[in-house]
Amino acid sequence: MTGMAVPEPTGRLWRLVESPFFTALVLTVILANAVVLGLQTYEDFERDHGDTLALLNAIFLGFFVVEVTLRIAAYGRRPQDFFRSGWNVFDFVVIGMAFVPGIRESSTLLRIARLMRVVRVVRVLPDLRLLVEGVVRSLPPLGSMVLLTTLIIFVYGMFGWLLFGDELPQDWGNIGTAMLSLFVILTLEDFPRYMYRAMEVHQWAWIYFVTYVGIAVFIVVNVLIAIVLNSMEEARELERRRRLAAGRESGAVAPAPVLERIAILRAALEELEEELAQIPVK
């Protein structure tokens, strides 16, 4: 959930809501809310302490309302800037869901709204937030890898149907069953069972399974991991640049350490090289 670079206020209220103490307090309340939601799944405990759990949920909701109100008020005369961040909008919507009439009357929807408040832990922890942003940024290239993986499973599924379809119809009887079996093998679940049963049909069936695991599991999975890691690095760099831009707009850029300055200069040089590469040579 990326957003535009928003000038960050520097008043006392802003320092309060951005302080480590306030962040730790919000995280503690979110975790306590998660514990209460978990306790509500035990029928005996809910029957004996249902009123107490309901009161705690109301207290948690009140705390979150105050928290978001303080964070909006921290923007001073420009409260609308709060909504320029996707994570802030997420927090506002998740907390506001509890006050929507249609949700309040439905116990299931109300529990979902309470559960979504626990997901806010992603918003509180910066490293976890960067992880989510990295995963989201990796979705476009992951789509191509999914297509490639599907193609590999389809091709090997056809070979599996041809080789073992008659003798092992429960695993390889048609292309759908064969692809499902290969998808299970992709997780290395019951891989020996599939291979040894196939070897009872064809002695050299291990070649089929070893090549599939080598191509589909090790190569594809490692490439997927590389894509996610690269996207996480891009998300981290984007977050750093966003904070730097916000600091410039607010006029409150703190002196950067030497390593951070080197990283900034390196990024600037890379951007300059990209711009020079786009200039046509006469």
Q: Please determine, for residue 247, whether its predicted confidence score (pLDDT) is greater than 50.
A: yes
d(C-alpha 25, C-alpha 161), whole Å: 58
- The mean pLDDT of 192-198, rounded to a whole number, is 90
Cβ atoms of residues 112 and 59 within 8 Å: no
Q: Please determine, for residue 152, whether its predicted confidence score (pLDDT) is greater than 70.
A: yes
Residue 216 or residue 28, greater confidence: 28
pLDDT of residue 154: 93
Which residues touch 182 (CB under 8 Å, ≥6 apart)?
153, 156, 157, 160, 212, 216
Q: Where do the domains of the chain lie?
A: 12-124, 139-277
CATH class for the region spanning 139-277: mainly alpha
- The mean pLDDT of 142-159, rounded to a whole number, is 86
CATH class for the region spanning 12-124: mainly alpha
Residue 255 or residue 241, greater confidence: 241
Please list the alpha-helical segments (H only) found in the chain: 12-17, 20-39, 43-73, 86-96, 101-104, 107-119, 121-124, 126-137, 139-164, 169-172, 175-186, 191-199, 205-212, 220-250, 258-277
Residues 20-64 have pLDDT tens digits of: 888 889 889 888 988 988 888 888 888 888 889 889 988 998 999
